[in-house]
């Protein structure tokens, strides 16, 4: 006997988007949880300088959500833009030296709003 929906899209059992197999035969791992990035223009980065031991100045970029941003990548971009070294820790980016203006320009070029203050 012919099926009512033979040859139409409704005839097909649900298939996996990735392997194309029917879902009953699919053995794909569950999808990785999607990372929710926040558009830069919806965020305000806070910039400040802080004095560390032995009088060393660092420029701190704070106020950016650690899950809404790829802080490691952003830190790398800022280090390149400012021509300095730095680290990412506790959800903050630290750049060696007083890089307030250069970091602010680089953040604004990406699209972030900024608020800078000398600490």
List contacts with Zn ion (CB under 5 A).
16, 18-19, 26, 28
Give which of 105, 18, 113, 12 is closest to 59, Cα–Cα: 105
Of residues 26 and 76, the one with the C-beta less far from Zn ion: 26
Of residues 17 and 65, the one with the C-beta less far from Zn ion: 17
Q: Are 82 and 99 in contact (CB under 8 A)?
A: yes
Shortest distance, CB of residue 32 to Zn ion, whole angstroms? Answer: 14
Distance CA 23, CA 104 (A): 50
* Nearest residue to the partner Zn ion, using Cβ: 16
Of residues 22 and 85, the one with the C-beta less far from Zn ion: 22
């Amino acid at each position: 006997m012919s099926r009512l929906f033979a040859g139409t899209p409704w005839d097909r059992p649900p298939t996996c988007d990735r392997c194309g197999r029917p879902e009953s035969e699919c053995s794909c791992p569950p999808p990785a949880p999607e990372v929710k990035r926040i558009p830069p223009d919806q965020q305000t980065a806070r910039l400040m300088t802080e004095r560390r031991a032995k009088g060393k100045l660092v420029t701190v970029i704070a106020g950016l959500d650690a899950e809404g941003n790829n802080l490691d990548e952003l830190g790398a971009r800022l280090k390149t833009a400012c021509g300095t070294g730095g680290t990412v820790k506790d959800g903050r980016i630290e750049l060696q030296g007083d890089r307030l203006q250069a970091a602010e320009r680089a953040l604004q070029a990406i699209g972030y709003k900024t608020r800078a203050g000398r600490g």
